[in-house]
Structure 1
Amino acid sequence: MSVDLGVLLRLEFPTCVREGLRKLEEVIKLPTSSQQHGTQQYIMDEFIFCFKDHKIGKPKPLGPVEELAIVQQMAHHIGESVDAASQNTLFITLFHPAANDVRTPHKLRILGSLVSLAVVTHNASVLEATAVWLQQVCCLSSCSGEVCQGLVRDYFLPNPSSPSMPSPLTPLPSIAPLFTANLITAASQLYANLGTGNICVVPPLPLVRTFASWLCTHPHLALVPLTQPLPGISLPMTAVPPILTIVKLCVESPFFLRYHAQTQSPLPSSRRPTLTKITQDMVKVEGKEGWKEDVQEAEELYSKLHLSMLKTLQSVTTVRCRMTQRQVLCPKQVLSMIEAVSERVKQCKSSDQDCLQLSLDRLAQVILVALRTDCLSGSLGDIWKAFRTLPSNRLIRTLLDTHGIR
């Protein structure tokens, strides 16, 4: 059994992209064989992503106009899909980020443009397929970060001075909840540095404002990755809800907000994230206007986000029977968050005791609730050891005493 590819050779660009997507779906449905992967790659290289000119068999550069045409053809094809399983399988095949593959950067650039178009047109099919892709490559990965940094630039920071959320973003939690939750995880990781042991970078205020609006008005949004199955995915990867990336920003926020209050500098509002190492020294602040309003608003937003995450952890018991995995919080990621707080403590001045205690209170509150709701389990010895290195704090003492840690 085979698929006739002759028609593709007779089609001009960009018509060949749409037909190539149809043929690729046909090939994917065929029984697995040694030739199947080669056929898939041939269709993608020459007729979908158009890495090569099939008429002369040589690589060809694509300009912005050609890339836009490819994105539009993909958006139309996937948008018309009615079978979620086939849609997800096609998406994973198209945008699989193979290591050391020179085609991967080009594919991720196309994917970023495709998702950006889907956000503004509310193309739910593309957004849902992207949500599955984010989960399969891990929302904390550099590939997810590459795709999401373009979205942050295009939609979260178009008008930093405006307190209102850009309209294309407002309905996303209702249109594509899994995409929204995974987007929060991937975009916040650009600043949170979860799992690295490094301190976080100050996120732009419009980004924090948007996340607070989404999470506070949709109480169960952060749990969607744990409760939604992935059609067409035989080996789903471990879901990473946005809980810890948001918590890490909330726990460290007293430190960086104190810095901006002391220096009377406004929070970054239009600085674009990059995947290179970002440090606090790289934050560019223009002028001294509005620093007090920025800090006051940010303090309120982080308080709301912290409360939202505590409520999210408390509500896990109500969805436990629908969860697709047991793990809610990863112990290794929790440990890395404590290590980042330890780094903050080393830089802390004697005059910063109030922000230090607020940070430690938030950290202890999250762990207390997580343990009570069975959201954090497994081997926790390293976590207790890390807690004992932190400065004295009433809630941390309660936490350690409750669990018999000396």
Structure 2
Amino acid sequence: MSAASEVNLKQTLRKLEFPLCAKEALNKIGELICGRITSIKNMDLALDLMSEFIFCEVDRRGNKRSSPLSALLELQLLEILFEHFNGLTNEAARNTVFLSLFSGTTALQRAGILSKLVSLAIGIPSPAILTSASTWMQQLGCTSAHSCKLAQAIVHDYFHLVPSAADRMKILPDVAPQFTANFLTAVAENYFNSKKKDQPYPSESLLQTITQWISQNAHLCIAAQQKQAALPPGAIAMEATTAIAGLIRWCTLAPMYEQDSQLYSHLHLALLNSILEIPHTTPPKAICAQHLATSLRFILLYSNKTGKQSNLQLALDRFAQAVQVALSTKCVYGKIDDLIHQLQQLPFNKLMSIVINTHKECK
């Protein structure tokens, strides 16, 4: 597109009131970045259109606006975005526009609109938007700060703000299994994690929902690894990180932190069954050894205090069971020998010592 055409396009859009200008800008952005031939110039223009006409972050001269969208304008934008993405039948094109609108460089700035859009897509529901959100999480990293913040916002909306709305979450795996899997990975990162100081443990309703999901669908945790993300030609799809290691951490650490809900026992069993159902791949990709090892420092810290030995032994039993099942099904990747070496640093546990010796004998 020539410089004159760019100017004419922007002048035309400036004559339209919001949200009509946003609607027209979205259509133009799709043409610019989803065509067979794209260019840096087209991408730069698309980014300009997003900033000025969709999110109203800058004025016509490119200067940053001091005030964000009002609540009414934000609601109108959400309606436009919802209709636009549901109207795009080409998944690769939809994902391309979605990723561009909420790219890593602007994710924090637009996080509020993104979380509201995804929450809306859960409530309506919209498999199309949830699929694009799932791709977004994978491309940025399911355990990244951006994905964790999105997961936190969804948990707030459906489990804290309006607790009765939690029922809408029960059908989520049927509506969007890939999104649910990536959501689980991010949620797992948000709890039983020393980096999160506020509300370090999941609520009973969230724990119950997750336990129910995995108990009813043994393949849910690996769902995002079963389907390749649809991206434009030349783009590299990032491999999804499963929630298994993170949720194993929950079950392992729960006794040490006096989280005595029976749901942790049920979740632990569901996870073991899920691991047993993981199909063999070469190389394995379901559970990262380094992710499994994140529980170790918490266990060592606890053992150095005057914590209950019974709680410590229960934690070690659960961790040993999970490690053994994961190793026996050959679904662990990464530095397995380092993991075994770290396990040897833990306080004595009969089951763990058997797991360590069994691994050494099988080598």
- TM-score when scaled to structure 2? 0.89
Question: Which residue is 2:58 aligned to?
Answer: 52
What secondary structure does 2:168 align onto?
coil
SS at the partner of 1:389?
coil
Q: What is the aligned partner in structure 2 of residue 13 from structure 1?
A: 18
**Cα deviations across residues 58-87 of structure 1 (Å, max 9, x unaligned)?**
433222222222111101100121111111
Q: Distance in 1 between matches of 2:107 and 2:270?
A: 37
For 2:203, the aligned partner's letter is P
Aligned residues of 1:148 and 1:186 also touching (Cα < 8 A): yes
The alpha-carbon distance between structure 1 residues 36 and 348, as it changes in their structure 2 partners (threshold 3 A), is: farther
Alpha-carbon distance between aligned partners in 1 of 2:304 and 2:238, rounded to the nearest angstrom: 36
Report the aligned-residue RMSD: 2.4
Distance 2:46 2:147 in 1: 23
Please tell me whether the aligned partners of residues 225 and 240 of structure 2 are also in contact (alpha carbons under 8 angstroms). Answer: yes
TM-aligned CA deviation for residue 240 of structure 1: 0.8
Cα deviation for residue 222 of structure 1 reads 0.7
- 1:105 and 1:310 map into 2 onto residues whose CA distance is 36
Cross-structure match for 1:37:
43
1:230 counterpart residue number:
229
Give the counterpart of 2:277 among 306, 315, 328.
Answer: 315
Identify the residue that residue 84 of structure 1 maps to in structure 2. 91
C-alpha distance in 2, partners of 1:348/1:176?
45
How far does the alpha carbon of each residue in 1:157-189 deviate from its partner, in whole angstroms, 9 at most, with x for none?
A: 2466x7xx7222121110011111111111221
**What code does the residue aligned with 1:77 have?**
H
SS in 2 for 1:392: coil
Instruction: Flag structure 1 segments of 5+ consecutive residues without an equivalent.
Output: 259-294
CA distance in structure 2 between the aligned counterparts of 1:302 and 1:94, rounded to whole angstroms: 38
Question: CA 1:179/1:246 → structure 2, altered by over 3 Å: closer, same or farther?
Answer: same
Paired residues of 1:14 and 1:73 also in contact (CA < 8 A): yes
Q: How does 1:237-252 map to 2 (within 5 A)?
A: 237-252=238-253
Equivalent residue of 2:293, what SS? helix
SS in 2 for 1:246: helix
Task: Give, as a single letter, the amino acid of the residue that structure 1 aligns with 2:346.
Answer: L
In the alignment, which of 95, 105, 108 is matched to residue 108 of structure 2? 105
Cα shift at 1:366: 0.8
Could you tell me how far apart the structure 1 residues matched to 2:318 and 2:100 are? 42
Among 289, 300, 303, the residue aligned to 1:342: 300
**Residue of structure 2 aligned with 1:390, choices 324, 333, 346:** 346
| TM-score normalised over the length of structure 1 | 0.80
Residue equivalent to 1:265: none
Report the residue type matching 1:143 in the other structure.
H
Is the 2:178–2:224 Cα contact (8 Å) retained in structure 1? Answer: yes
User: For residue 327 of structure 1, what is the amino acid of its counterpart?
Assistant: K
Deviation, 1:41, is 1.3
Q: Which amino acid aligns with 2:268?
A: H
Q: Which residue of 2 is the match for residue 257 of structure 1?
A: 258
Structure 1 residues 173 and 72 mapped into 2: Cα distance closer, same or farther (>3 Å)?
A: same
Q: Aligned equivalents of 2:177 and 2:318: distance in 1? A: 27
In 2, Cα distance between equivalents of 1:377 and 1:91:
31
Whether 2:165 is the aligned partner of 1:209: answer no
Could you list the per-position Cα deviations for residues 170-209 of structure 1 after superposition, in whole angstroms to 9, with x for gaps in the alignment? Answer: 2111001111111111122111339x799x9322212111
Paired residues of 2:29 and 2:49 also in contact (CA < 8 A): yes
In 1, the alpha carbon distance for the partners of 2:108 and 2:334 equals: 37
Return the alpha-carbon distance in structure 2 between the equivalents of residues 146 and 22 of structure 1. Answer: 28
Distance 2:114 2:30 in 1: 18
User: In the alignment, is the contact (CA less than 8 A) between 2:181 and 2:242 conserved in 1?
Assistant: yes
**Structure 2 match to 1:273:** none
Alpha carbons of structure 1 residues 70 and 197: separation in structure 2 relative to 1, 3 Å? closer
Partner of 1:157: 160
The question of whether the paired residues in 2 share the 8 Å contact of 1:148 and 1:187 is answered with yes
Deviations 1:16-54 (A, max 9, x none): 111111110100034233412221111111111121233
Shift of 1:8: 2.1
Could you say which residue in structure 1 is the equivalent of 2:218? Answer: 219
Contact 1:197 1:339 in 2 (8 A): no
Alignment counterpart, residue 306 of structure 1, candidates 261, 265, 268: 268
More contact order relative to length (CA 8 Å, sep ≥ 6)? 1
Residue segments in structure 2 that go unaligned for 5+ positions in a row: none
Counterpart of 1:328 in structure 2: which amino acid?
A: A
User: For the residues of structure 2 that align with 1:158 and 1:34, how far apart are their CA atoms?
Assistant: 42
The one-letter amino acid of 1:247's match is: I
Matches within 5 A, 1:255-294: 255-257=256-258
Partners of 1:156 and 1:58 lie apart in 2 by 39
| Contact 2:275–2:329 under 8 Å retained in 1 | yes
Please tell me the residue identity of whatever aligns with 1:105: L
Deviations 1:319-371 (CA, angstroms, capped at 9, x unpaired) = x46x9x7321112212222222222222343xx22221111111111111111
Over 3 Å counting, the alpha-carbon distance change for 1:120 and 1:232 in structure 2 is same
* Partner of residue 403, structure 1: 359
Distance in 2 (alpha carbons) for counterparts of 1:375 and 1:315: 10
Indicate which of 316, 321, 325 corresponds to 1:369: 325
Q: Which of 116, 126, 130 is the equivalent residue of 1:127?
A: 130
Contact residue 284 and residue 332 of structure 2 kept, 8 A: no
Structure 2 letter corresponding to 1:310: L
Q: Does 1:75 align with 2:74?
A: no
Instruction: Report % sequence identity.
Output: 31
Higher deviation after alignment, 110-119 or 32-41: 32-41
Structure 1 pair 326–387 and aligned structure 2 pair: CA distance change class (3 A): closer
